[in-house]
Amino acid sequence: MKSPIYFLLLLLTVTTFASEEELHTFTRADGKTGKDRIVKYNFEEQIITLENSGKIAFDLLSEADQEYVLHWNQVQGFTSSFRFKMELTPRDWARLRPPTLNTTPYLLDAFQMQGKKTPMHLLEMHNEYIENNALNLRAEGYEITIKNSNFFPIKNLKVESRIYYEQEKYITDGDIFDSPKKLFTETETIRKSRIKEEALPSIAVREEIVLYSECAIMAEEQLNREKRQTNGENNTDDSTFNYDWDDHNRKRRGKVIGLWVRVGITGLDGEMIWREKITPDSLKDKVTWDGTFLDDEKEQE
C-alpha cells in the first residue's frame, strides 16, 4: 500500500527538481524559438521531450541547442546514481617487512679532524645488551571503480581523491643513551592527507574504469632492548657506559583513516557538479575535503 505513495512522492520530488531548472530558449532549424525545459531525451531515437512543446526530433533543433541537449543528457547521466556508479575498495599495494633483527647496540662516535676528508670513528659495542628491531612498512591505497551504465559515453570528467591517514612518530629520534624514558617512548600522531587529481576524457558505454587513489605509506616499528642472558646470568658489564635500557622499549604505528572521492562534470551553468563517495561514512565528521582534520582544528582553538 505504501509503495504507490512513495512513488508519488518520488515523482513529486523529481518534478520539483526538474522545475527548478531554468527555462532554455530553444531554436528550431526553421528559426522558430520558444522557452522550454527538457523532460527527457531518448538518445536511441534521437527524440527530445520538452515540458511544454512535447516531443521534438533532435535534428530539428539548431546546432547550439543540440549541443545543449547533449550536455543536459551528460549531466543527467552523470548525476544518476543508478546509471553512474562509484565504488571504493581498499588495497594493500606493497609491504616491506624485514626480518626482526637482533643486534648489539653500539656507540659510534664520529670525529672530524682538519686535514682529513673522512671522519675518524670510535666504536664501542654494548655487548651486555641485545636490541630487537622490527619494522613493517606498508603502502596502502584505494581502487576507485567508476561504472557508466548509461547508453552513451560520459565525457570530460574530473576525478579527485584524497586519502587520509595517520602516522606516529617518535618524539626523540635516533639512539637512546641517557634519554629519559618518558621522552624516549612517547610518540606524536601526525595526520596526513594526499590528494590525487586526474581527468577522464571519456567513459564509454557500460565501461568500468578502475582508477587509484594516492598512496598512504606507513611504518610500524618496534624496538626492544634488553639485557643479554647467558645461562640465566647476566653478562659481565665491560662497557664504558652503564645505561639501563631495560624499559626503553618503544613502538609506533600508522593507519589509513579513509578516502574521500569526488567526481565532477561541468554543469549547464558552467559550474562543476560533484558527486562524492566517502569511506568510511564517519570520515565526513572527522575531516574536511581540503585535508583539515576537525579534531586538530578543535585542539588548536
Partner 1 sequence: MEVQKKKRRLVSSSALLISIALHAVLILIIGGMVALKFYVKSGAGFVVEDQKPKLERRKLQLPVQTEPFMEQMSKPKRQSTSRLTANAPQMVNIPEQGEYVKMAPPPSFKGAYTNFLQLDRTLEFNSKYRDVDFGLSTMQFFGVRGKAEKIVIVLDASKSMLYDRQGGMDSYQMVQEDLHEIIDGMRSATLFNVVLFDEDKVSVFNPALLPATPLAKTNALAWVGGINTNLIQVGITDDMVNYSSPKNYDIPMAKEDVTGWLKGIQAAFEMKPEIIFMLGSDWGSTTTLEHNISYFKKSKAYTTYQKKRAQYFLNDEERAEEMEEYTTDFNEFREIALKMLELENQARNEMSMQPKVVQDWDEILADNKIELPPPPLMEEEMYATLNPAHTRYTFNEILETVFTMGMEQYRELGFPQLNFVLLRGTSSGRNSAAASSVMTSDAKFRLLSRMLRGRFRYLKGMPQIINQLDQDESDIRRLLEDNTENEI
Q: Kindly identify the residues of this chain, within the stretch 68-97, that bind partner 1 according to CB under 8 A.
A: 70-71, 74, 83, 91, 93-94, 96-97
Minimum CB distance to partner 1 smaller for 37 or for 192 = 192
The verdict on 156 binding partner 1 (CB under 8 A) reads: yes
Nearer to partner 1 by Cβ, of 189 and 284: the residue is 189
Amino acid identity at 75: V
In the three-class reduction of DSSP (H, G, I as helix; E, B as strand; rest coil), residue 237 is classed as coil
Segment near partner 1 (CB under 8 A); pick from 11-19, 156-164, 226-234, 277-285: 156-164
Query: In the block, which residue shows the cell 654494548?
Result: 126
Nearer to partner 1, 263 or 287 (CB): 263
Look at strands 272-279 and 101-103 and give their pairing: unpaired
Q: Which of 202, 234, 282, 292 binds partner 1 (CB under 8 A)?
A: 202
User: Binder to partner 1 among 39, 60, 86, 107 (CB under 8 A)?
Assistant: 107
Nearest alpha carbon to residue 241 among 183, 185, 175: 175
Half-sphere exposure of 196 (CA within 13 A, CB side): 18
Q: What is the DSSP string of 129-198?
A: EEEEEEEEEEEEEEEEEEEE-SSS-EEEEEEEEEEEEEEEEESS-S--TT--HHHHH-EEEEEEEEEEEE
Q: How far is the CB of 290 from partner 1 (least distance, A)?
A: 18
Check residue 205 for interaction with partner 1 (CB under 8 A): yes
Residues 30-69 binding partner 1 (CB under 8 A) are 44, 63, 66-67
**Of 109 and 295, which CB lies nearer to partner 1 in the complex structure?**
109
The values of phi and psi at residue 67, to 5°, are -65, -40
User: Nearest distance from residue 159's CB to partner 1, in Å?
Assistant: 8
What secondary structure letter does DSSP report for 44?
T
Of 12, 54, 241, 295, the one binding partner 1 (CB under 8 A) is 241
In this complex, which beta carbon is closest to partner 1, that of residue 31 or of residue 115? 115
State which of residues 106, 171, 188, 246 lies at the interface with partner 1 (CB under 8 A). Answer: 106
Phi, psi of 10 (to 5 degrees): -60, -45
Q: Is 130 in the site for partner 1 (CB under 8 A)?
A: no
Phi, psi of 285, deg, nearest 5: -80, -15
240 near partner 1 (CB under 8 A): yes
Min dist. Cβ of residue 41 to partner 1 (A): 12
Sole binder of partner 1 in the list 39, 60, 86, 125 (CB under 8 A): 125
Contacts of 79 (CB under 8 A, 6+ apart): 273, 275
**118 belongs to the binding site for partner 1 (CB under 8 A):** yes
Cβ atoms within 10 Å, residue 175 = 11
18 sits near partner 1 (criterion: CB under 8 A): no
Pick the stretch among 48-56, 150-158, 227-235, 281-289 that binds partner 1 (CB under 8 A). 150-158
Q: Select from 28, 192, 262, 286 the one that contacts partner 1 (CB under 8 A).
A: 192
CB atoms within 10 A of CB 112: 9
Interface with partner 1, residue 186, by CB under 8 A = no
**Cell 511544454, located at residue:** 52
22 binding partner 1? (CB under 8 A): no
Taken in order 97, 102, 106, 110, is the CA torsion positive or negative? negative
